[in-house]
Amino acid sequence: MPKVKTNSSAKKRFKVTGTGEITFQKAFKRHILTKKSTKRKRALRQKGLVGAPNKDFVMRLLRLK
């Protein structure tokens, strides 16, 4: 029986923390930063947490469930 592969795009985008939360990098911080406020850019630096409705789906992509 062949091994089941982890989704390649998911393993690059998500990390699992020690407590089991799934984090990701927020979008809209790559370019055109001059028109965005400092407050907005500072908020985008923080890691995002995958919400409860999507957590099962992301865990399945990462083959954790």
Alpha helices in the chain (DSSP H): 8-13, 38-45, 52-61
pLDDT tens per residue across span 2-56: 989 999 999 999 999 999 999 999 999 999 999 999 999 999 999 999 999 999 9
- Taking the complete model, does pTM exceed 0.75, yes or no? yes
> What residue has token string 């407590």?
19
Res 32: pLDDT: 96
Res 18: pLDDT: 96
Q: Which CATH class is domain 8-61?
A: few secondary structures
Please choose, from the candidates 45, 4, 49, the residue with its C-alpha nearest in 3D space to the C-alpha of residue 28.
45
> Are the C-beta atoms of residues 28 and 44 closer than 8 Å to each other?
yes
CA atoms of 58 and 54, how far apart (whole Å):
6
Q: Where are the chain's structural domains? A: 8-61
Residue 41: HSE in the Cβ half-sphere, 13 Å Cα cutoff:
10
